[in-house]
Amino acid sequence: MIDIPSFAGLGTIYTAKEAATRLKMTRRGVITLGKRYGCCSMHGRSVLFSEQDLLDIWQVMRAPATETKPVSARAVAFYSADTSYKDLLRTNQREREEKRRLRKEKDAANRERRLEEKRLVSRAKVEARAAKRAEKAAMTAAKRASVEGEQLDLANKDPSYWTSQRKKRLRRERIARMESTP
């Protein structure tokens, strides 16, 4: 047979909200601690706490006692030596600072190299554009020279023959003829 404790020994039964108020905690915090350490009674979704459960939760929340531990002989020998803990910390800090300085120098060198590469690429693009413009200007000048060098065929009615350069040339010739005749 199962030994069921008598309800007379339980004392007051608290809901989660009442227990939280009594322990000055949140409702969810009391429920979590109660479930974690088995200090609550659950029936469905309702969680109930007895007086003893609240005392157990209070004991769980208490900070553990600290007592000074005896120092071992190794620790005494270590701390009584020339180097102290602060010296070790300073050494570690110096090493970290040196690594940080080297990393910054390396990063700066890499950054400068990347910037120089970008500058070279942009210079090459500018030079390529300038060369392309010069080539186009030379082609346009050669085209104009070939158009101006030939005699205009005034009888030609083909629209593809009358390019903008030929039309401009015809206008210039007519204006020049009008200005030369008084």
Give per-residue pLDDT as tens, 11-64.
789 999 999 999 999 999 999 999 999 989 999 989 999 999 999 999 888 877
User: Is residue 143 situated within a structural domain?
Assistant: no
Contact of 37 with 56, CB cutoff 8 Å: yes
User: Is residue 22 situated within a structural domain?
Assistant: yes
Which of 52-61, 79-88, 108-117 is predicted with the least confidence, judged by mean pLDDT? 79-88
Last residue of a domain, one of 61, 86, 103: 61
Flag whether pLDDT at 71 surpasses 90. no
CATH of the domain at 55: 1.10.1660.10
Distance CA 153, CA 169 (A): 12
Structural domain including 43 reads 10-61
143 vs 76, higher pLDDT: 143
DSSP 120-142: HHHHHHHHHHHHHHHHHHHHHHH
Per the structure, how many domains does the chain have?
A: 2
User: Is residue 174 situated within a structural domain?
Assistant: yes
pLDDT at 1: 47
User: Is residue 120 situated within a structural domain?
Assistant: no
The two three-digit tokens of residue 107, written as one number:
């990063």
Distance CA 92, CA 112 (A): 30
Looking only at the bridges linking them, the beta strands covering 41-43 and 13-15 are: unpaired
User: Is residue 55 situated within a structural domain?
Assistant: yes
Give how far Cα 118 sits from Cα of 109, 126, 127, 147, 148, Å.
14, 12, 14, 43, 45
What is the residue type of 102? L
**Nearest Cα to Cα of residue 10 among 48, 47, 64, 59:** 48
Residue 13 buriedness (CB in 10 A; 0-12 / 13-18 / 19+): middle
User: Is residue 162 situated within a structural domain?
Assistant: yes
pLDDT band at 118 (very low <50, low <70, confident <90, very high): very high
User: Is residue 43 situated within a structural domain?
Assistant: yes
User: Is residue 88 situated within a structural domain?
Assistant: no
